[in-house]
A = this chain, B = another copy of it.
Amino acid sequence: SEVKKIAVIAGDGIGPEVVAEAEKVLKRTEEVFGYAFETEHALFGGIAIDERGTPLPEDTLEICRSADAVLLGAVGGPKWDNNSKELRPETGLLGIRKALGLFSNLRPAVVFDCLKDASTLKPEVLEGTDLMVVRELTGGIYFGDKLRRQGEHGEEAVDTCVYNVMEVERIVRQAFEIAGKRRNKLASVDKANVLETSRLWREVVNKIAPEYPEVEVEHVLVDNCAMQLLRRPASFDVIVTENMFGDILSDEAAMLTGSIGMLASASMGDGNYGLYEPVHGSAPDIAGQGLANPIATILSLALMYRLTFGYEDAAAAIEAAVAEVLDAGHRTSDIAVDKSKAISTSEMGDLIVAAI
């Protein structure tokens, strides 16, 4: 079959280690399923600041643009935290999302059986939790005008939150499509009792809803959603919301599963183009020691196969291999009950490769 191009961004901290394991899995799926990939590595984040003086070099963007999908490890670390805005990894992250038009961030929050005790929630509350946060990723207060000015009461700072109908429509439509392929439930989260952007958001949801009569829609205020995620996590299927609320709620949802170190995410643009990355961060404290868990990154690759390439066989095989290795009791130290039996990053990668 046709050769697909994947831009690979290892990034900072444990990024290079976990990405290396995902690349082993990629090679294995080429052999087993006959797919052909060309990978090209690109500098991004802290390492790009160090080596190139900017978190998002132009040639990195070029590599990503010429690829069919991007696999990202993790970026950031204390080393760059006190840099000026233009020299911070986060600025690169916001920049790449905007430049590649990745307006839709999919964050599935599921409970891994072997990790359900890791949650701080009671097992009976968590039972059956399997939700997906669809977060708008290139609009809202993240990208609106920002400024400092002198006001009546001293210096003041301003952030602007803007949404237009097109931006809301495309993400809401995607959320309806996703809900339709899952359990047909969509919770649209806003603060329509206070914000004008939320009122627009709600109008668009109500306008589109009749096109998806099989999907049951509920409007949930963001403060109430923060509570209901704790109270009845299993009752949610798809949650769609704007950028800032999605940032907060997707992290809350991921944490309550207890499985945050194992969760994959996708940031999608128009068509099937997407950037795939683990939900966890760059964990600089354990970087370079072979302690990192590569599963979330490997599952991000599976998500890429499914959503960008439609290689469902390879996606399912990766997921089954991960389940098999976990069922056999293998654990990296982050998820090991008995740390003395923990295996390394590359041992975990090798076991998953062998199980495919």
Q: Mark A236-258, 1 if CB is under 8 A from B, else 0.
A: 00000000110111111011100
> With A223-B248, A230-B120, A252-B227 in contact, is A154–B142 under 8 Å at CB?
no
Please give me the residue from chain B that is nearest to A140 by CB atom: B159
A148 within 8 A of B: yes
Question: Which of A163-171, A294-302, A337-345 contacts its partner?
Answer: A163-171
- The digit string for A87-129, where 1 denotes a CB below 8 A from any CB of B, is 0101000100000000000000000000000001110010000
A141→B256 CA distance, assembly (Å): 28
- Is A146 an interface position by the 8 A CB rule? yes
Selected contact of A156 from candidates B159, B195, B200, CB within 8 Å:
B200
Give the residues in chain B near A157, CB-CB below 8 Å: 162-164, 196-197, 199-200
Contact of A164 among B121, B125, B153, B193 (CB under 8 A): B153
Whether A164 touches B146, Cβ cut-off 8 Å, given contacts A157-B197, A252-B227, is: no
In whole angstroms, what is the CA distance A144 to B195 when docked? 10
Task: Give every chain B residue within 8 A of A227 (Cβ-Cβ).
Answer: 251-252, 254-255, 260
When the two chains form their complex, are residues A166 and B154 in contact, meaning their CB atoms are under 8 A apart? Answer: yes
Using CB atoms, name the residue of chain B closest to A162: B158
Query: What's the Cα separation between A154 and B230 when bound, in Å?
Result: 37
- From 199 to 227 in chain A, residues with beta carbon under 8 angstroms from any chain B beta carbon are 199-200, 222-224, 226-227
- Size category of the binding interface on chain A: 35 or more
Hey, which chain B residues are within 8 Å of A249, CB to CB?
226
Closest B residue by C-beta to A147? B196
Q: By the criterion CB–CB under 8 Å, are B196 and A159 in contact? A: yes
Give the residue of B151, B153, B199, B251 whose beta carbon is less than 8 angstroms from that of A223.
B251
Given A156-B162, A158-B162, A165-B154, A90 contacting B224 (CB threshold 8 A): no
Q: Are B226 and A252 in contact (CB under 8 A)?
A: yes
Q: Quick check: B155 and A200 within 8 Å, CB to CB?
A: yes
A interface residues (Cβ-Cβ under 8 A, vs B): 88, 90, 94, 120-122, 125, 141-142, 144, 146-148, 151-167, 191, 193-197, 199-200, 222-224, 226-227, 230-231, 244-245, 247-252, 254-256, 260
Please name 14 further chain A to chain B contacts, defined as beta carbons within 8 Å, in addition to the given A224-B251, A227-B254, A244-B244, sorted by A numbering: A88-B193, A120-B121, A121-B230, A141-B194, A146-B195, A156-B162, A156-B165, A157-B164, A158-B196, A159-B196, A223-B248, A223-B250, A245-B248, A248-B248
Among all A-B residue pairs, the 7 with the closest Cβ atoms: A156-B164, A157-B200, A154-B165, A153-B166, A146-B196, A227-B255, A226-B252
